[in-house]
Amino acid sequence: MTGPYRDCAGLHVSRGDDAVLRIVIDRTDKRNALDDEMVMAMSDAIDAAERDEHVRAVLLSGEGDHFCGGFDIIGRNAGGGDRRPRAGSIQRRLPSQAHRLVPLFLTVQVPIVCAVRGWAAGIGLHLALAADFAVAAEDARFWEPFIERGFTPDSGGTWLLPRRVGDVRAREMLLLGRALDGREAAGCGLVHAAVPAAQLMEEAEALTTRLATGPTVAIGLTKWLLARGASLPLDAHLRDEAFGVELSSRSEDFREGMAAFTEKRPPRFIGR
């Protein structure tokens, strides 16, 4: 598409008239596994959405039967011949790829919803964890494949999982490779909700629309406060809250919210 967003092989990005940026992973022959170009394009799209006055929410989904089967390590290493990468290649590459994408999910002041069906493994699971909301099909599968493959997690798995589901469940998933279905994931707080597979996109779209029609400034600042508060002492966080109140109370949506309360009607927020 035109503007600040770009498609690439396996990833479709579109901005609708409803203020929603839709990102669809479309690599069905690989269970929607990501490659380097897809990660870069998704990072660029999320980064651009932060500055796009027309975008008020993001919906990430997968084409076909799966959300995202992880990263395509086999595809990256295919065709390389006998030459091995230099020592440290992973450490040099990750900060600009997967380790850029996950922090963007957490920090952009645009709410992100993931619609998860089928497999969400590795970075696919971590994107669902880093999103503001994840709606899963009841038969979706959430899995950390790293130990079974003989290497350690990346893309924030060991940081995100304990904070979302607690240390005991995180160790089961990370050290024992236990997979959770959608119902279990919702039950332990890994995802926002689990619904029948046939209702997944309807539920995810409805949630995204609710966010996209909400008080955008207040939602963005609240997301910022949640991210900041994870690493700040209370006194510093209270200063941030005062800053958030100062900014949000100067928005047009604040004035609309107060008028709607006074007039006993639903508010009509415009995202300003």
Residue 141's nearest CA partner among 165, 172, 118 is 118
Q: How far apart are CA 23 and CA 129, in angstroms?
A: 17
- Residue 78: pLDDT band (50, 70, 90) is low
Same domain assignment for residues 29 and 111: yes
The tokens describing 244, both together, are: 């958030």
Residue 43 has what pLDDT?
96
Residue 167 lies in a domain: yes
| In-domain check, residue 1 | no
Domain extent for 197: 11-212
One domain, residues 194 and 256:
no
Claim to verify: residue 64 and residue 176 sit in the same structural domain: yes
Least confident interval from 2-6, 11-15, 23-27, 89-93: 89-93
Same domain, 177 and 74: yes
- Domain match, 94 and 22 both: yes
Percentage with pLDDT > 70 across the chain: 90
Question: What CATH number is given to the structural domain containing 47?
Answer: 3.90.226.10
Q: Is residue 98 part of a domain?
A: yes
- Together in a domain, 110 and 236: no
Average pLDDT over residues 54-67: 98
Among 176, 191, 212, identify where a domain stops: 212
Q: What per-residue confidence (pLDDT) applies to 152?
A: 87
Element housing 13 (H / E):
strand 11-15
Confidence class of residue 89 from pLDDT cuts 50, 70 and 90?
A: low
Average pLDDT, stretch 129-155? 95
| 117 & 232 share domain | no
Domain boundary among 212, 228, 254: 212
Same structural domain, 101 and 177: yes
Average pLDDT along the chain: 92
Assigned token pair, 92: 């040099």
Instruction: Report the pLDDT value the prediction gives residue 33, as an integer from 0 to 100.
Output: 96
- Give the total number of structural domains in the chain: 2
Q: What is the CATH number of the domain that holds 258?
A: 1.10.12
Q: Specify if 113 maps to a domain.
A: yes
3-state helix/strand/coil string of 239-271: HHHHHHHHHHCCCHHHHHHHHHHHHCCCCCCCC
The model's confidence at residue 246, banded by pLDDT at 50, 70 and 90, is very high
pLDDT over 90, % of the chain: 84
Is there a single domain that holds both residue 186 and residue 135?
Answer: yes
- Is 192 found in the same domain as 128? yes
Establish if 24 belongs to a structural domain.
yes
- For residue 26, being part of any structural domain is answered with yes
Please indicate, yes or no, whether residues 161 and 225 belong to a single structural domain of this protein.
Answer: no
d(CA 153, CA 171): 12
Q: Please report, for the chain, how many H helices and E strands are present, in that order.
A: 13, 9
Looking at the domain assignment, is residue 123 inside a domain?
Answer: yes
Please tell me the pTM assigned to this model: 0.91
Q: Could you tell me if 142 and 189 lie in one domain?
A: yes
